[in-house]
């Protein structure tokens, strides 16, 4: 008897099955990739919301208003530098965000913050972000502010460097150190001096080059 030769129809059927399986695998891989991307996107969005809470945005007007007041005074007297103003504004915001983050970290370390505390981000006590990660976030904000400050110093002079270093030290002392100033009667005095007088003075100086 002669050997049976597979018909063309049978070969086409087998090829079609293989193609269908291949398409199914491709679709499955595509679905898995979409799930992974969606998961990463969701985690990124959650992370952004947590860091937004840590920055305490409702407090940031305390950095914006003095800088704008100083800039407005300088503009009224005929001096205004857009780049200097932006560098000071962004740097001031980053320093305050860092201060808020350090406040969250050190209050947690001292056992001051609890899940029921009012006025905190709560991401550490709720276990959503590790304390070390929060501390690193504050350091990064300070580092970026420092780089912007050096750029501003190069454009305006050493008085800005002196004021910036004092402000950074005050920001750390407010929340950190063996006895944070925030927990003493002098906390409000520090806020008035550095977030008021110093910030307004800097806001004017970076435009006018004098006080």
What is the model's pLDDT at position 39? 41
Q: How far apart are CA 55 and CA 104, in angstroms?
A: 10
Confidence of residue 44 (pLDDT cuts 50, 70, 90): very low
Give the least confident one: 44-48, 54-58, 67-71, 142-146: 44-48
What is the model's pLDDT at position 17? 57
What is the model's pLDDT at position 118? 59
What is the model's pLDDT at position 7? 52
Give the least confident one: 3-12, 96-105, 164-173: 3-12
Mean pLDDT across the stretch 93-120?
A: 82
Mean pLDDT across the stretch 127-155?
A: 92
For residue 156, pLDDT over 80 is answered with yes
When the pLDDT of each residue in the chain is averaged and rounded to a whole number, the result is 81
Confidence of residue 140 (pLDDT cuts 50, 70, 90): very high
């Amino acid at each position: 008897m002669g050997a049976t030769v597979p018909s063309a129809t049978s070969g086409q059927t087998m090829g079609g099955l293989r193609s269908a399986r291949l398409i199914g695998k491709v679709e499955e891989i595509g679905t898995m990739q979409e799930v992974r991307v969606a998961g990463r996107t969701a985690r990124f969005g959650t992370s952004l919301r947590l860091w937004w809470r840590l920055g305490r945005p409702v407090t940031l007007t305390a950095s914006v208003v003095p800088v704008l007041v100083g800039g407005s005074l300088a503009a009224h007297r005929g001096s205004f530098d857009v780049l200097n103003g932006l560098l000071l504004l962004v740097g001031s915001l980053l320093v305050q965000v860092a201060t808020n983050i350090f406040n969250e970290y050190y209050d947690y370390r001292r056992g001051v913050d609890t899940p029921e505390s009012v006025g905190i981000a709560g991401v550490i006590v709720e276990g959503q972000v590790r304390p070390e990660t929060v501390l690193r976030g504050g350091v990064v904000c300070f580092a970026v502010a420092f780089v912007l400050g050096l750029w501003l110093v190069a454009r305006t002079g050493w008085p800005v460097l002196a004021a910036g270093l004092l402000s950074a030290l005050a920001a750390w002392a407010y929340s950190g150190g063996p006895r944070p100033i925030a927990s003493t009667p002098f906390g409000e005095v520090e806020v008035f001096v550095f977030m008021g007088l110093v910030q307004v003075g800097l806001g004017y100086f970076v435009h006018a080059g004098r006080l």
